[in-house]
Amino acid sequence: MQMSETEMMLRGYGLTTAEIFYRMPDYQNVLNTFVWQDYEVAPDHEKLFGFIEFWQTEIEGPLHSVRFTHRKMLSSGEWRSVVGEMSYH
């Protein structure tokens, strides 16, 4: 059974985004980019590192560099109780 995004956020998962730069197999002077995203727990980044290993063994375009960031969707202090809401135009 797969967890919902809310359950993942409550368990400490965050969104990892990687920008992968790679060379075209037939045109080594051309750099291309690929953006990868998934929810995972920092600092392990098992899914990202697994994807990079897969790329290196299965995809012909050699990697040039990988830049990634991780953002926790929830952190302590972000939940608050709201009793009412008032709008002012």
DSSP assignment of 7-73 equals HHHHTT-EEEEEEEEEE-SS-TT-EEEEEEEEEE-TTT-HHHHHHHHHHHHH-SS-EEEEEEEEEES
Query: How confident is the model at residue 80, as a pLDDT?
Result: 60
pLDDT digits 0-9 by tens, 48-77: 999 999 999 999 999 999 999 998 876 655
pLDDT digits (tens, 9 = 90+) for 9-53: 888 888 899 999 999 989 989 999 999 999 888 888 899 999 999
Tokens of 34: 């690929």
Contact 40/16 with Cβ under 8 angstroms? yes
In this prediction the pTM is 0.73
Rounded Cα distance, 79 and 24, in Å: 46
DSSP state of 2: P
Handedness of CA 27, 28, 30, 34 (dihedral sign): positive
